[in-house]
Amino acid sequence: MRRSLSLYEDLTAVEGLDFGFQRNGLVSMFRTEAFADSVVTTSRLLDEFGIRVEVLDRSGVARLAPSMSDEVLGGAYFPEDAHLDPAAFVEQLAARFSASGGSILTLTDVLKLRAGTRGRVLVETAAGERNAQLVVLAAGAWSAGIARDLKLRLPIEPGKGYSLTLPIDGGPAGVPIRMLEANTTYTPTAHSIRLTSKMDLVGFDLTIDRNRVSGMAPAARRYLKLDHDFGTATAWAGLRPLTPDGVPIVGRHPHLTGLILATGHGQLGVALAPVTGWLVAQLATNQPSELDLKPLELQRFEGVRSR
Ligand SMILES: Cc1cc2nc3c(=O)[nH]c(=O)nc-3n(C[C@H](O)[C@H](O)[C@H](O)COP(=O)(O)OP(=O)(O)OC[C@H]3O[C@@H](n4cnc5c(N)ncnc54)[C@H](O)[C@@H]3O)c2cc1C
């Protein structure tokens, strides 16, 4: 996570990409005593890993989040945390890649991957077949379906979540707020405020279920005095690629040497995107990895079948 943060800083400060990256920290808050204990336990655990957390009482939360409601009992502050605009990040990266001579085939489905000769993988797309020297499978929740013909069982399930984004007039970006019982995050930026929530296990259905979305703003108002009308907000649904142990799958396929897996990032794909790209670059160029990749290997799952 720390490596990702420093890579994000490089992408903005050194590469000059602008995707709303802000290192303002994050505040979590709770309304019920049951969560007071879990905040303390989590902060002790994170402390062991050198991650700074300050446990806050009511007045400490109010200092960082003045719009806090009367129901909030306490929380925690994660000063090292950051946030960004994910869509702008992808657009900026794609533009830089194209400007550097890379070519991106958009609106073209990969139908399946097939085993070729000498460890290579053939990519069957809606626009014909490609015989690539190296394929990186990074198709999020859809990765398992694409890999099926390789007799590769990727234990990834889609976890559907929603966001509600409301444009606002410019202002300084505040601190993102995690509302613990409601499992909802509030992210203010210079031009919008966004609520994200829900974890629905409903397969690949990306339709917006208005019943699910309509409860998000009322749930957030139990923590924050929000006077915005979320009825006019843009609703979006996305699929988190969930693995059974919540850890991504990153590494070379054990037999198909022309295939690198970079998927299953669950709830942390934005946070872990730069470090994943960095690891994939090391794998692709056959450099020794600077991190231990063993915990990320696909082989950690029992019963995984591979060729
Ligand atoms: C509501 C919500 C809130 C979230 N909040 C956070 C957060 O605060 N922090 C965080 O770190 N993460 C967050 N996440 C999780 C994060 O979005 C994911 O972990 C991340 O998007 C996974 O990245 P990915 O590139 O592996 O997959 P994706 O982002 O899903 O990208 C996969 C891409 O592959 C494409 N694709 C799929 N099938 C095919 C095919 N057959 N042919 C061609 N292309 C294909 C898709 O169109 C898509 O563009 C959130 C997710 C949701 C839904």
Closest C-alpha residue for ligand 1 atom 46: 139
pLDDT on residue 116: 94
The encoded tokens of residue 93 equal 């990266």
- Residues forming beta bridges with residue 240, ordered by sequence position: 159
Closest C-alpha residue for ligand 1 atom 15: 267
What is the identity of the amino acid at 75? G
The encoded tokens of residue 286 equal 């056959």
Q: Which atom of ligand 1 lies closest to the CA of 146?
A: 41
**Ligand 1 cavity residues, CB under 6 Å:** 109-110, 138-142, 146, 161-163, 196, 238, 240-241, 263, 265-271
Who's near 128: CB < 8 A, 6+ residues apart? none
The shares of helix, strand and coil residues in the chain, as percent rounded to the nearest 5, are: 30, 25, 40
Integer Cα distance of 122 and 28 in angstroms: 46
Integer Cα distance of 147 and 153 in angstroms: 8
Closest C-alpha residue for ligand 1 atom 29: 140
Q: Which atom of ligand 1 lies closest to the CA of 125?
A: 42
Residue 53 in contact with residue 43, Cβ under 8 Å?
yes
* H helix or E strand, kind and range, residue 13: helix 2-13
The encoded tokens of residue 34 equal 């049951």
Closest C-alpha residue for ligand 1 atom 18: 269
pTM above 0.85, yes or no: yes
- In terms of phi and psi (left: phi > 0; alpha: psi -120 to 50; beta: otherwise), the region of 34 is alpha
Residue 169 in contact with residue 293, Cβ under 8 Å?
no
Q: Name the DSSP class of 234.
A: E
What is the identity of the amino acid at 45? L
Closest C-alpha residue for ligand 1 atom 47: 139
Centre of ligand 1 from the C-alpha of residue 206, in Å? 12
Centre of ligand 1 from the C-alpha of residue 182, in Å? 22
Q: Which atom of ligand 1 lies closest to the CA of 239?
A: 53
Query: Please, what sign has the CA dihedral across residues 252, 253, 254, 256?
Result: negative
pLDDT on residue 306: 47
Q: Which atom of ligand 1 lies closest to the CA of 145?
A: 41
Centre of ligand 1 from the C-alpha of residue 199, in Å? 14
Centre of ligand 1 from the C-alpha of residue 128, in Å? 25
Residue 266 in contact with residue 248, Cβ under 8 Å?
yes
pLDDT on residue 4: 95
Give the residue ranges of the chain where pLDDT is below 70.
Answer: 170-173, 303-307
Helix axes 273-284, 2-13, angle to 10 degrees: 90
pLDDT on residue 173: 67
Centre of ligand 1 from the C-alpha of residue 153, in Å? 19
Mutate to test the pocket of ligand 1, among 89, 268, 279 (most ligand atoms within 8 A of CB): 268
Centre of ligand 1 from the C-alpha of residue 79, in Å? 26
Centre of ligand 1 from the C-alpha of residue 163, in Å? 13
Integer Cα distance of 124 and 110 in angstroms: 6
Closest C-alpha residue for ligand 1 atom 26: 140
Of the candidates 271, 287, 246, the one whose C-alpha atom is nearest the C-alpha of residue 8 is 271
DSSP character string of 86-143: HHHHHHHHHHHHHHTT-----S--EEEEEE-STT-EEEEETTEEEEES-EEE--GGGH
The encoded tokens of residue 247 equal 């850890």
